[in-house]
Each structure stands twice: as C-alpha cells, then as structure tokens.
C-alpha cells in the first residue's frame, strides 16, 4: 500500500512523519486498552482485526516515509556535490581564460 504524505484526521490535514506515525499508533493502542478496561474484551473483539490492520498500515507508512527521507538526503548530498564540482570547474575555466 502506498501512503501519501498527507492524511486527513479529525483536526484537519497534517504532514506525516515517522514520529507522528509512532505517536498515533500508541494512541490507538491506548484507546483500545481503555475500551477493553471499561467494557470488556468482548466489545472490541470484532474491532481487533481492523486495529491490527491499521497499525500494520501505519508501520508500512512509517517505513516508506523513512525511505523517502533517506532518498531525499542522498539526492540532496549528490546535488551539493555536483554544485561544488560545477563551481570548481567554473573557477578553473575562469582562471584559464585569464
């Protein structure tokens, strides 16, 4: 499943980052525990597969976001290296023309 970088939530649109994904997964688990403590396990039995699926999707999104961040960092470093080489070559050409 491919996750977009933005999702809709109850409070509006938010940027997803790995930390938010972890926090939201923790909140879901805590809420499920509260419901179980209040109403018993039977009440949430049918919801458990859905919660497991949601947590798996969140974990997948977290991994995809981490990969995208790493790729962006690599591309940024490559771009900076190319820019430095371009500037060095430009300086050498200027020196040779003088």
pLDDT digits (tens, 9 = 90+) for 56-95: 887 888 888 889 999 999 999 999 999 999 999 999 999 9
Threshold 0.95, pTM exceeds: no
Query: Residue 45 — very low, low, confident or very high, per pLDDT cuts 50/70/90?
Result: confident
For residues 75 and 56, give the distance between their C-alpha atoms in angstroms, rounded to a whole number.
Answer: 29
Give Cα 29 to chain centroid, integer Å: 19
Residue 1 has pLDDT above 50, yes or no: no
Which structure tokens are listed for 83? 């820019």
């Amino acid at each position: 499943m491919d996750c977009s970088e933005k999702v809709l939530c109850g409070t509006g649109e938010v940027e997803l980052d790995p930390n938010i994904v972890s926090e939201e997964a923790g909140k879901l688990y805590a809420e499920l525990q509260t419901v179980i403590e209040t109403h018993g396990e039977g009440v949430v039995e049918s919801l458990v597969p859905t919660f497991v699926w949601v947590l798996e999707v969140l974990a997948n999104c977290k991994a995809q976001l981490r990969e995208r961040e790493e790729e962006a960092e690599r591309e940024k470093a490559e771009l900076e290296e190319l820019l430095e080489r371009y500037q060095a070559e430009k300086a050498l050409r200027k020196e040779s023309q003088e």
